[in-house]
């Protein structure tokens, strides 16, 4: 069996149309309500490959796949031949003979695309240095559970315009909401991403002032100042201090605004404990929803 373009990969939010994304989220919400009574992926096996650490992605994919009736094999890059010179493409061809679907967490986005091009089974992006689309699917699910449709909502991202922010940008254009990004110039979204936003008439703005971005927002979102692939921790701490989410920033947003964070969080750095543990925090639902959203993605990829 060779590689085929009909395979349903989930590599990035902006590679899908809104109807497909909505189908994934609707089935996620339905399965969440139904507590996984059906086993649509009985007899299917998911391979999880991690070239970076993970708590949520690993456990939520494992438990979610089992709830769907499937099996899981979890591998780290180092323990398989991938980490010892076997190419991504060869790994993809071989795994496609054993398993029905692959999730990859890696560094360079190009590696994910190489795997998808060579695999004859669906490949899911479990985070790269540049994107984290499965996280943002869970985030949309969480936002809409709390606040209704995200269409025309105002979301404030404050901090490093990193891989998680990139997927929020893709989501803002596809789901048609306003995204205001407060970040230092050095840690702004890539120019190519903002060009893509303009080409698609997206409502994504960039400011250096978190107070401007947070004003009357429906959600305040942030992430760590130092991602797994970043080496310049001290410089980032200095640049990002003004972008912390604290009671003052939450107070600028709507009264019923929620606080979101993909986790892991660094308390008293990008967010204060008072906010993450406070009444507006949605972070634990957000973490739980990783599992439900991914069940929607897994069943969509396998067309069940």
Which residue has the closest beta carbon to ligand NVA?
Answer: 227
The answer to whether residues 81 and 107 touch, using CB atoms and an 8 Å cutoff, is: no
Q: Which is nearer to ligand CP, 46 or 127 (CB)?
A: 127
* Number of amino acids touching ligand CP (CB under 6 A): 8
Q: Which is nearer to ligand CP, 74 or 263 (CB)?
A: 263
Considering CB distances under 5 to 8 angstroms, the limit depending on partner class, which of ligand CP, ligand NVA, none binds residue 224? ligand NVA
Task: Tell which positions 232-271 bind ligand NVA, by CB under 6 A.
Answer: 262
- The residue from 183, 223, 236, 261 that is catalytic is 223
Q: What are phi and psi of 302, to 5 degrees?
A: -95, 10
Give min distance, CB of 267 to ligand CP, in A.
16
Q: Is 57 in the site for ligand CP (CB under 6 A)?
A: yes
* Number of amino acids touching ligand NVA (CB under 6 A): 9
262 is catalytic: yes
Q: Is 227 in the site for ligand NVA (CB under 6 A)?
A: yes
Is 202 exposed, middle or buried (CB count within 10 Å of its CB: 0-12, 13-18, 19+)? Answer: buried
State the alpha helices, DSSP H only, in the chain: 18-34, 56-67, 88-98, 109-118, 133-147, 163-175, 191-199, 210-214, 233-240, 247-252, 273-276, 283-301
105 is catalytic: yes
90 is catalytic: no
C-alpha 49/C-alpha 63 separation (Å) is 15
129 is catalytic: no
183 is catalytic: no
Kindly report the CA angle at 112 between 31 and 116, in degrees rounded to 5? 75
DSSP state of 77: G
Task: Tell which positions 196-225 bind ligand NVA, by CB under 6 A.
Answer: 223-224
Considering CB distances under 5 to 8 angstroms, the limit depending on partner class, which of ligand CP, ligand NVA, none binds residue 55? ligand CP
Helix orientation angle between 133-147 and 163-175, rounded to the nearest 10 degrees: 50
- As a whole number of Å, the end-to-end CA separation of the chain is 21
Q: Is 56 in the site for ligand CP (CB under 6 A)?
A: yes
C-alpha 156/C-alpha 253 separation (Å) is 9
Give min distance, CB of 189 to ligand CP, in A.
19
C-alpha 286/C-alpha 143 separation (Å) is 9
Q: Select from 262, 275, 293, 302 the one that contacts ligand CP (CB under 6 A).
A: 262
- The residue from 14, 58, 105, 261 that is catalytic is 105
Q: Is 273 in the site for ligand CP (CB under 6 A)?
A: no
Query: Which candidate, 188, 195, 147, 142, places its Cα nearest to that of 165?
Result: 188
The separation between CA 191 and the C-alpha centre of its own chain, rounded to angstroms, equals 20
Q: Which two tokens stand for residue 144?
A: 């809409």
Q: Which is nearer to ligand CP, 96 or 135 (CB)?
A: 135
132 is catalytic: yes
Q: Select from 27, 67, 130, 135 the one that contacts ligand CP (CB under 6 A).
A: 135
Q: Is 13 in the site for ligand NVA (CB under 6 A)?
A: no
Q: Which is nearer to ligand NVA, 91 or 163 (CB)?
A: 163
Q: Which two tokens stand for residue 131?
A: 């994107």
Q: Is 158 in the site for ligand NVA (CB under 6 A)?
A: no
**254 to each of 54, 74, 171, 210, 258, how far by Cα in Å?**
33, 42, 21, 14, 9
Residues that bind ligand CP (CB under 6 A): 54-57, 127, 135, 262-263
Supply the residues annotated as catalytic. Answer: 105, 132, 135, 223, 262, 290
> Which chain residues interact with ligand NVA by CB under 6 A?
127, 162-164, 223-224, 227-228, 262
């Amino acid at each position: 069996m060779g590689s085929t373009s009909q395979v349903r990969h989930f590599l990035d939010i902006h590679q899908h149309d809104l109807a497909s994304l909505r189908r994934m989220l609707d089935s996620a919400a339905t399965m969440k309500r139904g507590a996984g009574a059906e086993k649509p992926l009985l007899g299917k096996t998911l391979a999880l490959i991690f070239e970076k650490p993970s708590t949520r992605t690993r456990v939520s994919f494992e438990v979610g796949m089992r709830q769907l009736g499937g099996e899981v094999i979890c591998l780290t890059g180092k323990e398989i031949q991938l980490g010892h010179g076997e190419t991504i493409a060869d790994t993809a061809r071989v795994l496609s003979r054993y398993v029905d679907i692959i999730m990859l967490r890696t560094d360079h986005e190009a590696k994910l695309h190489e795997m998808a091009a060579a695999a004859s089974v669906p490949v899911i992006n479990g985070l790269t240095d540049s994107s984290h689309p499965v996280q943002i699917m869970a985030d949309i699910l969480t936002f809409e559970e709390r606040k209704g449709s995200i269409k025309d909502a105002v979301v404030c991202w404050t901090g490093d315009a990193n891989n998680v922010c990139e997927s929020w940008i893709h989501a803002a254009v596809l789901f048609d909401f306003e995204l205001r990004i407060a970040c230092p110039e050095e840690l702004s979204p890539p120019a190519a991403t903002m060009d893509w936003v303009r080409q698609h008439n997206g409502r994504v703005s960039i400011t250096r002032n978190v107070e401007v971005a947070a004003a009357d927002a429906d959600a305040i979102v942030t992430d760590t100042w130092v991602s797994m692939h970043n080496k310049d921790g001290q410089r980032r701490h200095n640049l990002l201090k003004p972008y912390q989410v604290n009671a003052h920033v939450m107070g600028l947003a709507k009264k019923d605004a929620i606080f979101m964070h993909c986790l892991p969080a660094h308390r008293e750095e990008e967010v204060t404990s008072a906010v993450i543990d406070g009444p507006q925090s949605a972070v634990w639902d957000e973490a739980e929803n990783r599992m439900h959203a991914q069940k929607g993605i897994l069943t969509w990829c396998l067309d069940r």
